[in-house]
Amino acid sequence: MTGSIITVKNVCKRFKKVEALVDVSLEAKPGEVLFIFGPSGGGKSTLLRCINQLEKVDEGEIIVDGIRVTDHGADLDTLRAEVGMVFQLFNLFPHLTVLQNISIAQERVRKWPKAQANETAHKLLERVGLPEKSEAYPHQLSGGQKQRVAIARALAMNPKIMLFDEPTSALDAEMIREVLDVMVDLAREGMTMMVVSHEMGFAKAAADRMVFLANGRVVEEGTVEQIYQNPKEARTKAFLDQILY
């Protein structure tokens, strides 16, 4: 299919004996929001990490925005600058202020002048609802605030694609909403997103397609209504029943 911004073709990834991904194929068009869910250990993180090449695939190919990232010698720094990633445990830089966390990559990677980087950072903080926290250090923030800063940090590079790996799994219930709100806004603005999560509310509000990944395989894939209302595979149904009671 042409017009895809992410193409994952027959990807296999092994860790010693563990088959983390088995013949996984997926596509995402620009502006699409893919919601990826499945049991723990199913390969969801590995899939995202292969897309921005934090992990190397064993077989198959991945093409992101026209770059075959699985090629030997692909320009990974450039790739990663176009692909934002948000982690379950935030991974903010604890020795830097919130503002520095957001501006550092613009200065070091994009080589933008400090003033411009800080201006962007302030705008993004406004956007994620934390304009007053620019001088705080990460340890002074709540979990939800940390994750919103992490999203702002990824957005500062002006990425074409955003990958979210269980962005709300480490958060207390009352903080999940503030992070999902930011993500829904982002989806509405047309960002291409791959979101690994179990927040079905987010899927309903913002996802275009859902992918059920288990044992390293894409078990089922379809629109939110399809998967939600009548999953074809028994395993998908069983898993949905489980997480929705």
Ligand X SMILES: Nc1ncnc2c1ncn2[C@@H]1O[C@H](COP(=O)(O)OP(=O)(O)O)[C@@H](O)[C@H]1O
Which residues contact another protein by CB under 8 A? Answer: 52, 54, 77-78, 80-85, 87, 89, 91-95, 104-105, 108-109, 137, 139, 150, 153-154, 157
Question: Which residues lie closer than 8 Å to 138 by C-beta, 6 or more apart?
Answer: 90, 92, 93, 94, 96, 98, 101, 146, 149
Site size toward ligand X, by CB under 6 A: 10
197 binds Mg ion (CB under 5 A): no
Q: Kindly write out the interface string for residues 9-38 of this chain, putting x where it contacts ligand X by CB under 6 A and - elsewhere.
A: ------x--x-x------------------
The nearer residue to Mg ion, 48 or 130, going by C-beta atoms, is 48
* Residue 238, binding choice from ligand X, another protein, Mg ion, none, Cβ under 5 to 8 Å by partner class: none
* Residue 52, binding choice from Mg ion, ligand X, another protein, none, Cβ under 5 to 8 Å by partner class: another protein
DSSP letter (8 states) at residue 31: T
Rg, Å, the chain Cα set? 18
Closest CA to 6 of 40, 47, 39: 47
CA–CA distance, 150 with 75 (Å, rounded to integer) = 24
The nearer residue to another protein, 157 or 182, going by C-beta atoms, is 157
Question: Cβ of residue 169: shortest distance to ligand X, in angstroms?
Answer: 10
- Chain residues 216-235 in contact with ligand X, contact rule CB under 6 A: none
Work out the angle at residue 92's Cα, subtended by the Cα atoms of residues 142 and 104, and round it to the nearest 5 degrees: 130
52 binds Mg ion (CB under 5 A): no
Tell me the one-letter amino acid at 40: S
The nearer residue to ligand X, 21 or 152, going by C-beta atoms, is 21
Site size toward Mg ion, by CB under 5 A: 1
Q: How many Cα atoms occupy the beta-carbon half-sphere of 98 within 13 Å?
A: 29
The DSSP string of 112-126 is --HHHHHHHHHHHHH
* Residue 112, binding choice from Mg ion, ligand X, another protein, none, Cβ under 5 to 8 Å by partner class: none
Token pair belonging to 178? 């503030």
* Residue 157, binding choice from Mg ion, ligand X, another protein, none, Cβ under 5 to 8 Å by partner class: another protein
Q: Kindly write out the interface string for residues 32-71 of this chain, putting x where it contacts ligand X by CB under 6 A and - elsewhere.
A: --------xxxxxxx-------------------------
Contact pick of 21, 26, 36, 45 for Mg ion (by CB under 5 A) = 45
Work out the angle at residue 147's Cα, subtended by the Cα atoms of residues 143 and 150, and round it to the nearest 5 degrees: 140
CA–CA distance, 1 with 113 (Å, rounded to integer) = 40
The DSSP string of 171-240 is S-HHHHHHHHHHHHHHHHTT-EEEEE---HHHHHHH-SEEEEEETTEEEEEEEHHHHHH--SSHHHHHHH
* Residue 42, binding choice from Mg ion, another protein, ligand X, none, Cβ under 5 to 8 Å by partner class: ligand X
Q: Which residues in this chain contact ligand X in the complex, by CB under 6 A?
A: 15, 18, 20, 40-46
Q: Which residues in this chain contact Mg ion in the complex, by CB under 5 A?
A: 45
